């Protein structure tokens, strides 16, 4: 059918639907929400002329066949809106349809004619004809209802009696949802929303190498669970726990050869005793791992497991599936490279292999295996180095079966690639937070993440450090730098994480000048951590995580708002609930060496306090209480004493 023929066939569809939001890339990707959220849909809906329009939102869960229908409400300037509740995990679909409501238009004009004292006898007959035209589209009970109304409008009753029938609200509602066939305009695509559990939006992550706990077993690692739970974390993330290859094993500080007693990198996965579904014998057995997961659950901790799709030269895949690797002309496997860096202990998988479908299925089975061991959260290593379509397929497949599973993308790469991975289905993502240290940079970046379309699909998870990244700010700023970066991460992000115990013990020595690598990194060796050191940030971390749990304002990102301070070394921002019954204002000194002072501009409108009333700002870190009048408030922060305020806004009452 030609375009002209299509237009001719649709000629009676007078309504236009456009500007439907939310949608990502014209509906190519799903938006993200949390179970229990209310999903707000808006659209521009209009038609030629002055007729009334009936607009409806259609939605259904992926497990349902039929659509739920909700009438949309007109806002202003032809903008319409409807809301539905997201009651289940998984994927919902939604779209919009509308039509010219001939009966509604007639009813509206009838009211005007009555108000103008015009003769309306003929109008009753016109209305009856409209009802009769619609009756063929209705089920028997509704059709009988219309027949009674038609009879009344065509009858000999008084104008008052017939007018009462014509203006009946139930009749109008019935007709508003009864379009004439061939005149319905339906939005040209179905859109999707993926609904996750609450932990996708609000979580605190703690990374730990179990091999550094005591003798390096899961049993020893379990003894650290109370320590981690006391700090208030939700998720304990473990680097890969699989057998580690011996061929080209890396030594301490990434030396190209390892001493006989050195454990190697956990990311060099695979040995004679197993691969991605195995557990390193030094850590214990699969039963020990399951016991560790169960023990963590008793402390309200979920275990997140690192999934790194790469292999050591000793991985069983290399012998069993050589076609999954890229072979060089000298008949050796191509190891991982990022010139000038080389990783001889790692073989990347070849996703362009002719056997790619079997490879995809096997890698999916890795996730399913660990789900079977009780894991529901995965941190995925370098997902940007694997095909995008692979991740879209895998995440969709896994979440159809296990909609409660969460995926964190570890992808420090180009912005568009990070966004693409989030669109493909990753529940959360690492960010550029580590390298955003200036006030303007933080404001610009977090405004992008929380106030633009990006927030519909990208859930940021800022980390001030990782085993791979020790930023110069932490290297040179001392203990105040760690406090500053921690407060920022934990309050700017509803999700955040730290790599410990290196973080709370303020580990700050790089491998060499100009490097972001740790000296004596746990990536290549075990470490003995003195957790009871008096300078540990353990108490501060515990307090901040408690503040986060007690204040709903800090449990989402969308209502983040920055405020002026008059000093580029002071950053101030607020988060609030939608009803403004919980408002948190954070002020941080970004200078880790010197006291900084300025005037915080904060109006009563910003925090939901009636105009001209004083503000009470209670510091949740120290318990101090400040009474503020007006809109400008003096703040001074000493990095060696108190580098930040976390203030809950209250009234004097």
Around Cβ 434, how many Cβ atoms within 10 Å?
22
Closest to 88 measured CA to CA, from 59, 109, 111:
59
H/E element, 601: strand 596-601
- How far apart (Å, rounded) are the C-alpha atoms in residues 56 and 239? 48
Q: Look up 381 and say whether it is catalytic.
A: yes
- 3-state helix/strand/coil string of 239-308: CCCCCECCCCCCCHHHCCCCCCCCCCCCCCECECCECCCCCCCCCCCHHHHHHHHHHHHHCCCEEEEEEC
Give Cα 632 distance to the centre of its chain. 34
Cα 272 to Cα 276, 277, 282, 313, 523: the distances in Å are 12, 13, 14, 10, 21
Find out whether 92 and 195 touch, Cβ atoms under 8 Å. Answer: yes
Find out whether 59 and 45 touch, Cβ atoms under 8 Å. Answer: no
Alpha helices per DSSP H over 10-120: 102-115
Cα 412 to Cα 211, 381, 416, 431: the distances in Å are 26, 10, 11, 7
- How far apart (Å, rounded) are the C-alpha atoms in residues 344 and 86? 48
Buried b (16+ CB within 10 A) or exposed e, 390-424: bbbebbeebbeeebebbbbbbbbbeeeebbbbbbb
Quote the tokens at residue 95.
């779209």
Cα within 13 Å of Cα(129), Cβ side: 7
Q: Look up 410 and say whether it is catalytic.
A: yes
Backbone phi, psi, residue 25, to 5°: 50, 55
Find out whether 192 and 22 touch, Cβ atoms under 8 Å. Answer: no
Buried b (16+ CB within 10 A) or exposed e, 467-482: bebbbebbbebebbbb
What residue has token string 């110069």?
A: 472
- How far apart (Å, rounded) are the C-alpha atoms in residues 312 and 234? 32
List of long-range contacts for 556-559, beta carbons under 8 Å, 24+ apart: 556/201, 556/202, 556/494, 557/201, 557/449, 557/450, 557/455, 557/459, 557/460, 557/493, 557/494, 558/450, 558/451, 558/455
- How far apart (Å, rounded) are the C-alpha atoms in residues 503 and 500? 5
Cα within 13 Å of Cα(384), Cβ side: 16
Cα within 13 Å of Cα(44), Cβ side: 4
- How far apart (Å, rounded) are the C-alpha atoms in residues 492 and 555? 10
Rounded to a whole number of angstroms, the CA Rg of the chain reads 31
| The one catalytic residue among 101, 381, 504, 522 | 381
Strands 336-338 and 79-85: unpaired
- How far apart (Å, rounded) are the C-alpha atoms in residues 94 and 67? 9
| The one catalytic residue among 306, 345, 410, 504 | 410
Find out whether 315 and 271 touch, Cβ atoms under 8 Å. Answer: yes
- How far apart (Å, rounded) are the C-alpha atoms in residues 650 and 32? 32
Query: Where are the extended beta strands (E) located within 291-404?
Result: 302-307, 310-311, 336-338, 341-343, 347-348, 377-381
Point out the residues that are catalytic: 381, 410
């Amino acid at each position: 059918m030609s375009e002209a023929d299509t237009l001719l066939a649709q000629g009676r569809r007078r309504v236009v639907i456009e500007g439907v939001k939310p949608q990502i890339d014209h509906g190519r990707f799903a938006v993200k929400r949390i179970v229990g959220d209310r999903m707000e849909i808006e659209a521009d809906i209009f038609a030629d002329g002055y007729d009334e329009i009936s607009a409806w939102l259609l939605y259904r869960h992926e497990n349902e066949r039929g659509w739920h229908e909700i009438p949309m409400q007109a806002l202003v300037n032809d903008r319409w809106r409807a809301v539905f509740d997201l009651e289940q995990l998984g994927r919902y679909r939604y779209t919009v349809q509308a039509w010219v409501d001939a009966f509604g238009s007639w009813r509206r004009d009838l009211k005007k004619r009555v108000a103008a004292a015009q003769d309306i006898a003929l109008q009753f007959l016109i209305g009856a004809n409209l009802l009769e035209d619609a009756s063929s589209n209705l089920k028997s009970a509704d059709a009988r209802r219309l027949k009674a109304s038609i009879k009344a409008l065509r009858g000999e009753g008084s104008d008052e009696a017939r007018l009462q029938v014509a203006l009946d609200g139930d009749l109008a509602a019935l007709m508003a949802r009864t379009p004439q066939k061939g005149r319905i305009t339906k939005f040209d695509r179905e859109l999707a929303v993926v609904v996750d559990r609450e932990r996708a939006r609000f979580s605190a992550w703690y990374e730990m190498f179990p091999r550094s706990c005591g003798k390096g077993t899961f049993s020893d690692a379990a003894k650290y669970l109370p320590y981690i739970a006391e700090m208030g974390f939700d998720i304990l993330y473990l680097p890969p726990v699989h057998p580690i290859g011996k061929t080209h094993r890396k030594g301490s500080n990434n030396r190209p050869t390892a001493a006989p007693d050195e454990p190697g990198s956990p990311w060099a996965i695979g040995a004679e005793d197993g691969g991605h579904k195995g557990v390193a014998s030094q850590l214990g057995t699969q039963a020990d791992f399951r016991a560790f997961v169960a023990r963590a659950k008793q402390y309200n901790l979920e275990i997140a497991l690192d999934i790194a799709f790469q292999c050591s030269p000793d991985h069983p895949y290399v012998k069993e599936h050589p076609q999954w690797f890229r072979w060089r002309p000298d008949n050796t496997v191509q190891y991982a490279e990022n010139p000038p860096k080389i990783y001889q202990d790692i073989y990347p998988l070849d996703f362009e292999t002719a056997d790619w479908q079997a490879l995809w299925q096997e890698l999916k089975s890795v996730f399913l295996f660990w789900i079977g061991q009780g894991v529901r959260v995965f941190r995925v290593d370098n997902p940007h180095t694997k095909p995008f379509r692979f991740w879209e397929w895998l995440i969709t497949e896994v979440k159809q079966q296990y909609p409660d599973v969460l995926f964190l993308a570890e992808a420090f790469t180009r912005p568009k690639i990070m966004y693409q991975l989030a669109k493909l289905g990753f529940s959360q993502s690492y960010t550029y937070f580590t390298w955003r240290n200036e006030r303007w940079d933080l404001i610009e970046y977090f405004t992008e993440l929380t106030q633009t379309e990006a927030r519909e699909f990208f859930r940021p998870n800022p980390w001030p450090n990782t085993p791979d990244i020790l930023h110069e700010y932490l290297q040179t700023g001392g203990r105040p730098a760690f406090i500053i970066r921690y407060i920022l991460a934990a309050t700017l992000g509803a999700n955040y994480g730290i790599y410990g115990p290196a973080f709370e013990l303020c580990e700050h020595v790089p491998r060499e000048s100009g490097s972001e690598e740790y000296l004596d990194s746990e990536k290549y060796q075990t470490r003995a951590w003195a957790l009871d050191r008096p300078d540990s940030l353990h108490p501060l971390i515990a307090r901040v995580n408690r503040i986060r749990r007690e204040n709903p304002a800090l449990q989402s990102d969308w209502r983040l708002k920055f405020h002026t301070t008059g000093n580029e070394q002071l950053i101030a921002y607020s988060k609030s609930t939608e009803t403004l019954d919980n408002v948190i204002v954070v002020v941080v000194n970004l200078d880790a060496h010197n006291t900084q002072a300025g005037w915080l501009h904060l109006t009563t409108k910003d925090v939901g306090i009636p105009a001209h009333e004083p503000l009470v700002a209670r510091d949740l870190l120290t318990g101090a209480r400040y009474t503020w009048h007006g809109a400008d408030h003096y703040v001074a922060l000493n990095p060696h004493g108190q580098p930040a305020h976390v203030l809950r806004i209250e009234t004097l009452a």
